Amino acid sequence: MAKNNKLSELKVAIKAHTYATGVSQVLKEFLKDKTKSLAFISHPLSFSPTLNSSVMIYEKGRIVRRINAFDNSQITISTSWYRALSVLL
């Protein structure tokens, strides 16, 4: 029981490059109901048909905020990390 109590107090952020369902989504599904809050930041791979980054924020398993960010197709690799961070601030 002590382990679950510690997990339920955590605020977790997961950042992943996404294209198809994978480990990051499985981890998100596992943690979203078990943690105090969870931020899931998704950046598509360059060959993905949808090039929009997104952020989903969960509190106690429920989505409380969803942000669909800019179109990444016009961003150079050197500035993409800065633009992605600016979405969160």
Domain ranges of the chain: 2-88
Whole-model pTM: value is 0.68
In whole angstroms, what separates CA 72 from the centre of its chain? 16
Write out pLDDT tens, residues 8-67: 899 999 998 887 778 999 999 999 999 999 999 988 877 767 677 888 999 989 999 998
**Residues with Cβ < 8 Å from 76, sequence gap 6 or more?**
none
Segment (H or E) for 88: helix 77-88
